[in-house]
């Protein structure tokens, strides 16, 4: 599928989804008078952002197509590269499932470090700084939840 078709279809899907959310938010989320920002604020924000961004994508896609004309560009996709990306996506799903399993068994901290390392190895990251940054973020999240928010993580 060409980029034009992908952008056109995805922008239309998200535009319709955003409009549907705007319509269904008042039906499904009750209005709260207790606070200035109620429970509808974040869903409205996300829906509005979804509508605006998908409209921008739709307009830019249509304008780009208008400039290029209606000639269809044929791009030959290399089969080994496509297969490699598909296998990498499946491996990423497997690593995510492993994280779900390990989270309760060995806890947040060690499972996050292990899964983060596996993901960086999967994408063949060689710079040691990236590993250190990921570990620091994992430790920072753990510290923020346990020491600042007083929420115990498994």
Task: Tell me the pLDDT of the chain (154 aa) as tens digits.
Answer: 678 888 999 999 999 999 999 999 989 988 877 777 788 888 999 999 999 999 999 999 999 877 666 555 555 555 677 788 889 999 999 999 999 999 999 999 999 999 999 999 999 999 999 999 999 999 999 999 999 888 888 8
Put simply, whether the predicted model's pTM sits higher than 0.85 gets the answer no
CB atoms within 10 A of CB 125: 14
pLDDT value at residue 152 = 85
How high is the pLDDT of residue 74?
Answer: 53
For position 40, what pLDDT does the model report?
85
Query: Domain residue spans in the chain?
Result: 3-68, 79-148
**pLDDT score at 39:** 85
What DSSP line would sit under 71-118, residue for residue?
PPPP-PPPHHHHHHHHHHHHHHHHHHHHHHHHHHHH-HHHHHHHHHHH
Buried b (16+ CB within 10 A) or exposed e, 8-41: beebeebbeebeebeeeeeeeeeeeeeeeeeebe
Look at residue 94 in the predicted model and tell me its pLDDT.
Answer: 95
Calpha distance 84→48 (Å, rounded): 37
Q: Mapping DSSP to helix (H, G, I), strand (E, B) and coil, where does residue 44 land?
A: helix
Measured between alpha carbons, how far is 1 from 144 in angstroms, rounded to an integer?
44
Which residues lie closer than 8 Å to 122 by C-beta, 6 or more apart? 88, 91, 92, 95
Tokens of 70: 């209606």
What was the pLDDT predicted at 73?
52
State residue 82's pLDDT score.
76
Residue that the structure tokens 């901290």 belong to: 109
Q: Tally Cβ neighbours within 10 Å of residue 51.
A: 18
pLDDT score, position 78: 56
Q: What is the pLDDT of residue 55?
A: 95
pLDDT at 75: 53
Distances in Å between the Cα of 98 and the Cα atoms of 4, 94, 135 are 36, 6, 18
């Amino acid at each position: 599928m060409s980029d034009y078709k992908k952008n056109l279809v995805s922008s239309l899907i998200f535009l319709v989804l955003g409009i549907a959310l705007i319509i269904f938010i008042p039906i499904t989320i009750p209005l709260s008078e207790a606070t200035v920002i109620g429970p509808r604020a974040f869903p409205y924000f996300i829906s509005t952002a979804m509508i605006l961004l998908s409209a921008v994508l739709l307009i830019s896609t249509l304008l780009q197509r208008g400039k290029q004309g209606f000639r269809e560009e044929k791009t030959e996709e290399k089969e080994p590269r496509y297969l490699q990306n598909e296998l990498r996506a499946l491996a990423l799903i497997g690593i995510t499932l492993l994280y779900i399993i390990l989270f309760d068994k060995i806890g947040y901290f060690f499972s996050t470090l292990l899964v983060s390392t596996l993901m960086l190895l999967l994408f063949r990251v060689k710079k040691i700084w990236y590993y250190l940054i990921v570990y620091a973020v994992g430790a920072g999240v753990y510290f923020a939840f346990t020491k600042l928010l007083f929420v115990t993580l498994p």
